[in-house]
Amino acid sequence: MANTNRFIDCKVFEIDNKKTLVAFKMNVARYRKLQCEFVEFDKEGDTGSRALQKVTVFLDFEEALLLADDITSGRFFKKAQKALDAATEKNSKYAEAIFQSMGGTNEEKCKAKGLRTDGKAMSRTVTITPSFYKPTPFVITAKQGAGESNAQGLIVPKYGNNPEQKVSVSCTADTLRTLALMMDKYISAYIAKTLISGEYKEL
């Protein structure tokens, strides 16, 4: 089996605000997932203890590629405008999210790994929401908290409006376009490489 460790250690893209960032990585590519690491930090804090909150979510390759295609095709931005128009009609300051991914760790694994003591699953979600703030009109938000597995195997959030961890990163439309292109390039390259080497079919 060919060694792809160097490849999967690559960082696909990073969006860095003053106090928050999200890094998209290929660390778990062998599971056909893209790792999205959200961090809120204190730049004035001591080295090694600057992180205030951290949420790590995972997007299936198919999900990430579909999002990338929506963004590069322009469909994503049409959805964004519709969401903003709907918010304006309702006289709301905030639009609805136009992308959402739900994941996490189920109750059984949470118990086995000691992740929770309340018997709940661990819900992790990521959303992209259009904003009326023109300099950075999109917000990517990750949330983590108590969840519950449903009949379809999805982990549904059960924390209401109070997640245990929440990190938001704002960005421009051009930043999203760049992210989309990088996700597509890296994931497509990984799939091609592992298909050629015979690794992909062994997963």
DSSP annotation of 181: H
- Residue 68, pLDDT score: 98
Distances in Å between the alpha carbon of 107 and those of 111, 120, 159, 162? 6, 5, 15, 20
Collect all residues with Cβ–Cβ distance below 8 Å to 180 and sequence separation of at least 6: 67, 68, 69, 71, 72
Q: pLDDT of 112-145, one tens digit each? A: 999 999 999 999 999 999 999 999 999 999 999 9
Beta-carbon count within 10 A of 189 CB:
13
Q: 35-50: per-residue pLDDT in tens? A: 999 999 887 765 555 7
Residue 101: beta bridge partners? 126
Domain segments of the chain: what residues?
5-202
pLDDT on residue 1: 40
Does the CA dihedral 95-100-105-108 come out positive or negative?
Answer: positive
Cβ-in-10-Å burial (0-12, 13-18, 19+) of 55 comes to: buried
Mean pLDDT, each 10-residue run in order, the chain (203 residues): 54 94 95 96 68 93 98 98 98 97 95 94 98 97 97 92 96 98 96 86 55
Say what the pLDDT of residue 2 is. Answer: 44
Q: Does the global pTM surpass 0.75?
A: yes
pLDDT of residue 198: 84
